[in-house]
Amino acid sequence: MTTTFVDSHAHLSNQSVALQIEPILERAKEAGISEIVNICTSMDELRRGLKLAESNPWIYTAAATTPHDAEIEGEDVFPVMAAHARSGKLVAIGETGLDYFYYRETKDAQKKLLKNYLHLAIDCKLPVIIHCRDAFQDFFDILDREYVVNGVHGPGVLHCFTGTVQDADEVINRGWYLSLSGIVTFKRSDELREVAKRVPLDQLLIETDTPYLAPQNHRGKPNEPAFLPETAALIASIKGISIEEIAGVTSENAKKLFNLTTKRNLH
């Protein structure tokens, strides 16, 4: 039986990926990737993403404005993203969030946009995909105020997690998913490997973040979904379980969070 994986976060509509999408998808299938959540962060990417999903029922679409575009186009793009979310064409709102490492000067715009997307997710009954870097305290404060329904946090995932063990515990304690990318395989990612060791299996997702952050054996190359098994294998070794178990658990977690229902069998 073929081991299959869900890539919970890839930017397939990124222009550099879109130009060679067919061979990338073929390699993904050969590597056992059964579903991909395609993250669209601009109107051009969303148009390409929706078209891609129409012809590939195993690819699903998520969309939002990233923190680095919050001040540039966040308010202008939000109504269009919201309309697509309400149309039922998206499986998640994201990626959105806070990034104070590169974009500290736009804190207020980032916070405002994040709140708008959290409220949209509640209205549409969709999960959120969060990018957070050097901003965890502000993020948790906003999450606790703006994304709680009947005393329970709404569903979501911290994608490409790079925070501390303490940040990871805060994510876990709120019942959220935590997604690990190829960064966990990097030689200096000792603390992230400690996070991988302690995150519960039922709250773990894996991703490539294609075309960024290729795992250690592919460093320097554009990332792609076919590289996901390398990340899965490293996490499996950290947890002392088989790659088949990591594949199965993370795939089920992704399907549950994003309500994925593949329309046809790839293999």
At 186-217, the pLDDT tens digits run: 999 999 999 999 999 999 999 999 999 999 99
Long-range contacts of 238-244 (CB under 8 A, 24+ apart): 238/193, 238/196, 238/197, 239/196, 239/197, 239/201, 243/3, 244/3
Identify whether the C-beta of residue 129 lies closer than 8 Å to the C-beta of residue 92: yes
pLDDT at residue 1 in the model? 60
Q: How many Å apart are CA 132 and CA 81, to the nearest integer?
A: 20
- CATH class, range 5-258: alpha beta
Q: Write out pLDDT tens, residues 83-138.
A: 999 999 999 999 999 999 988 889 999 999 999 999 999 999 999 999 999 999 99
Q: How many Å apart are CA 68 and CA 97, to the nearest integer?
A: 9
Q: Write out pLDDT tens, residues 160-178.
A: 999 999 999 999 999 999 9
Identify whether the C-beta of residue 226 lies closer than 8 Å to the C-beta of residue 31: yes
Q: How many Å apart are CA 118 and CA 97, to the nearest integer?
A: 9
Identify whether the C-beta of residue 206 lies closer than 8 Å to the C-beta of residue 5: yes
Q: How many Å apart are CA 72 and CA 81, to the nearest integer?
A: 15
Q: How many Å apart are CA 36 and CA 228, to the nearest integer?
A: 11
pLDDT at residue 72 in the model? 82
The yes-or-no verdict on residue 264 having pLDDT over 90 is no
Q: Write out pLDDT tens, residues 1-56.
A: 689 999 999 999 999 999 999 999 999 999 999 999 999 999 999 999 999 999 99
Q: How many Å apart are CA 56 and CA 201, to the nearest integer?
A: 29
The yes-or-no verdict on residue 149 having pLDDT over 50 is yes
Half-sphere exposure of 247 (CA within 13 A, CB side): 17
